[in-house]
């Protein structure tokens, strides 16, 4: 990292806190009828944010974020989490253990309670003072207008399918105005999307998806560069994002794209699953 070593734990804690706020906001935008039908709920437990959806077996719907990012985790906190998920009738859930000074101790406690390690997310950070490379190519990147919302949702649905019964939720989040969305065009055809969220001097890159036919044609590189320029104009000191943890036999294109744009991997958000 370009920052002094003593700043890294503080930066990691700020990133975790931003991730919690953004996730909490996303869940708050769930339409009431979907929340009732899915028996969805959220809870702040110690310094973490927990989400519950008993009608889904997807771990991203049933997970704990940010545990240990502010203070040491007591064994009783893990017991509380297990009890809360059992009470909600959730069959399995995961705890995401972000990199930081308390990660090793938390991992030992989770393993002792029977949690199982699964592939997590690589955390990458970029110094906002670095220049942004100019991109070449035929694709054009624009801010997503209301007229392009449906196209953007179709692209996202191709990469991250959402049950029809829950489609109103991402639509509500997409149109809420909580951040900025960008779309790459090949001529007039929308082919890729990505999002930017800003919280103080931190910027987050996420929500990236590309239509299958246009993958490996520079769409995401163009979107990364555009969002980095926008974050710099907004005065962001650091930009962060998460992508799939490198594993044998799995493509590593997203992470390599980010590294080419000046990101550095600062750790891995480990995923521990309660089976």
pLDDT at res. 7: 59
Residue 108 CA, chain-centre distance (Å), reads 25
Extract the tokens encoding 130: 């670095």
Extract the tokens encoding 182: 């960008």
Q: Which fold has domain 130-236?
A: Aminopeptidase (3.40.630)
pLDDT at res. 4: 35
**Residue 79 near residue 67, CB atoms below 8 Å:** no
Record the pTM: 0.92
Domain ranges of the chain: 7-126, 130-236
Q: Which residues of the chain have pLDDT under 70?
A: 1-7
**Residue 68 near residue 97, CB atoms below 8 Å:** yes
pLDDT at res. 74: 94
């Amino acid at each position: 990292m370009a920052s002094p070593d003593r700043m890294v734990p503080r930066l990691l804690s700020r990133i975790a806190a931003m991730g919690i706020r953004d996730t909490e906001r996303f869940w708050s935008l769930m339409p009431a009828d979907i929340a009732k039908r899915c028996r969805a709920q959220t809870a702040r437990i110690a310094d973490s944010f927990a989400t519950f959806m008993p009608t889904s077996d997807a771990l991203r719907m049933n997970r704990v974020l940010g545990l240990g990012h502010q203070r040491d985790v007591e064994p009783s906190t893990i017991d509380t989490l297990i009890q809360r998920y059992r009470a909600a009738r959730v069959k399995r859930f995961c705890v995401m253990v972000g990199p930081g000074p308390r990660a090793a101790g938390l991992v030992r406690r989770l393993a002792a309670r029977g949690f199982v390690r699964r592939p997590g997310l690589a955390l990458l950070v970029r110094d906002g003072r670095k220049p942004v490379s100019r991109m070449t190519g035929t694709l054009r990147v624009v801010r997503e207008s209301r007229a392009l919302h449906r196209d953007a949702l179709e692209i996202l649905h191709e990469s991250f399918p959402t049950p029809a019964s829950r489609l109103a939720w991402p639509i509500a989040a997409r149109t809420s105005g909580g951040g900025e969305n960008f779309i790459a065009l090949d001529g007039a055809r929308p082919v890729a999307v990505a999002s930017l969220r800003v919280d103080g001097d931190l910027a987050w890159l996420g929500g990236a998806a590309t239509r299958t036919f246009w993958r490996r044609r520079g769409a995401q590189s163009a979107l990364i560069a555009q969002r980095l320029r926008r974050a710099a104009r907004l005065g962001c000191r650091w930009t962060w994002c998460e992508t799939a943890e490198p594993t044998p036999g799995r493509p590593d294109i997203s992470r390599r794209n980010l590294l080419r744009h000046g990101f550095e991997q600062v750790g891995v958000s480990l995923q521990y699953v309660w089976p």
